[in-house]
């Protein structure tokens, strides 16, 4: 696997900026949900780092849950509009105050489908908290209650977000230089062929 240094274009959001903004969102959520039965639902896998940092900044009692949907296949960088639930909740959300925790909203198809699917289960409220918003790419309108950062139309990775399933561990958000990334993939492919 190539080092991210081989294809990063720039660090878009530093670790410090992420933590500062997440602390602010945590304070807002703490204030807005005081006295309510708050349930954070993390959409796997991209939202996982955001969830674990965010929940430490929310000082009211709350529960967490996970669900997984698939919208991007390996190698694909476009949402298809076809969203499939691959892991459902283990809990009843009726009358509970649900806040969906997402890594990024791009076309909006994923979060829109999740909202439709969960709203029929009659939660007390259902809102969206996303770390990143690529507004320019939006194809369907989605209501966003909390947003960390609006970002330009670039493919990003790190802090939970992947490129072909890797690099989620990086503590910052980086923008990829796709030409350089594809070159590293071609090199890898040639190496495998030479080894065979």
Q: Which residues bind ligand IMP (CB under 6 A)?
A: 46, 71-72, 79, 102-110, 155-157, 161-162
Catalytic, out of 106, 164, 165, 179: 106
Residues 6+ apart with CB under 8 A from 16: none
CB 96 → ligand IMP: shortest distance, Å? 23
Cβ closest to Mg ion, residue 103 vs residue 133: 103
Question: Residue 83: which of 64, 59, 101, 105 has the closest Cα?
Answer: 105
CB 176 → Mg ion: shortest distance, Å? 16
CB 31 → ligand IMP: shortest distance, Å? 26
Classify residue 131 as exposed, middle or buried by CB count within 10 Å of its CB (0-12, 13-18, 19+): buried
Write the secondary structure of 117-159 as one string of H (helix), E (strand) and C (coil): HHHCCCECEEEEEEEEECHHHCCCCCCCCEEEEECCCCCEEEC
Among 8, 40, 46, 132, which residue sits at the site for Mg ion (rule: CB under 5 A)? 46
Q: Which residues pair with residue 100 across a beta bridge?
A: 41, 128
Cβ closest to ligand IMP, residue 33 vs residue 106: 106
- Report the partner that residue 156 touches, choosing among ligand IMP, Mg ion, none (CB closer than 5 to 8 A by kind): ligand IMP
Cβ closest to ligand IMP, residue 126 vs residue 161: 161
Among 7, 99, 101, 103, which residue sits at the site for Mg ion (rule: CB under 5 A)? 103
Q: Say how far residue 107 (Cα) sits from the centre of its chain.
A: 13
Element (H, E) at 94: none
CB 44 → Mg ion: shortest distance, Å? 8
- Starting at the edge strand found earlier in the chain, the sheet holding 62-70 runs 84-87, 62-70, 38-44, 97-105, 125-133, 146-150
Does the annotation mark 164 as catalytic? no
Taking the C-alpha atoms of residue 134 and residue 150, their distance in angstroms, rounded to an integer, is 6
- Contact status, residue 151 vs residue 133, Cβ threshold 8 Å: yes
- Report the partner that residue 26 touches, choosing among ligand IMP, Mg ion, none (CB closer than 5 to 8 A by kind): none
53 binds Mg ion (CB under 5 A): no
Cβ closest to Mg ion, residue 51 vs residue 58: 51
Catalytic residues: 106
Contact residues for Mg ion, defined by CB under 5 A:
46, 103
């Amino acid at each position: 696997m190539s080092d991210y240094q081989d294809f990063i274009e720039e660090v878009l959001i530093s670790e410090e900026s992420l933590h500062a903004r997440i602390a602010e969102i945590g304070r807002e959520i703490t204030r807005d949900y005081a006295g309510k039965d708050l349930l954070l639902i993390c959409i796997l896998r991209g939202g996982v780092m955001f969830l674990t940092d965010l929940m430490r900044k929310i000082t009211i009692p709350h529960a967490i849950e996970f669900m997984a949907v698939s919208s991007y296949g390996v190698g694909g960088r476009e949402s298809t509009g076809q969203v499939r639930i691959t892991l459902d909740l283990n809990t009843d959300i009726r009358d509970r105050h649900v806040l969906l925790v997402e890594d990024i909203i791009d076309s909006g198809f994923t979060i829109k489908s999740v909202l439709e699917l969960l709203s029929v289960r009659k939660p007390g409220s259902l809102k969206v908290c996303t770390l990143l918003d690529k507004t320019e790419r939006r194809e369907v309108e989605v209501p966003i209650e909390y947003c960390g950062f609006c970002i330009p139309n670039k493919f990003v990775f790190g802090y939970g977000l992947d490129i072909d399933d890797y690099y989620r561990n990086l503590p910052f958000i980086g923008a990829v230089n796709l030409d350089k990334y594809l070159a590293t993939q071609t090199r890898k492919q040639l190496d495998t062929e030479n080894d065979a």
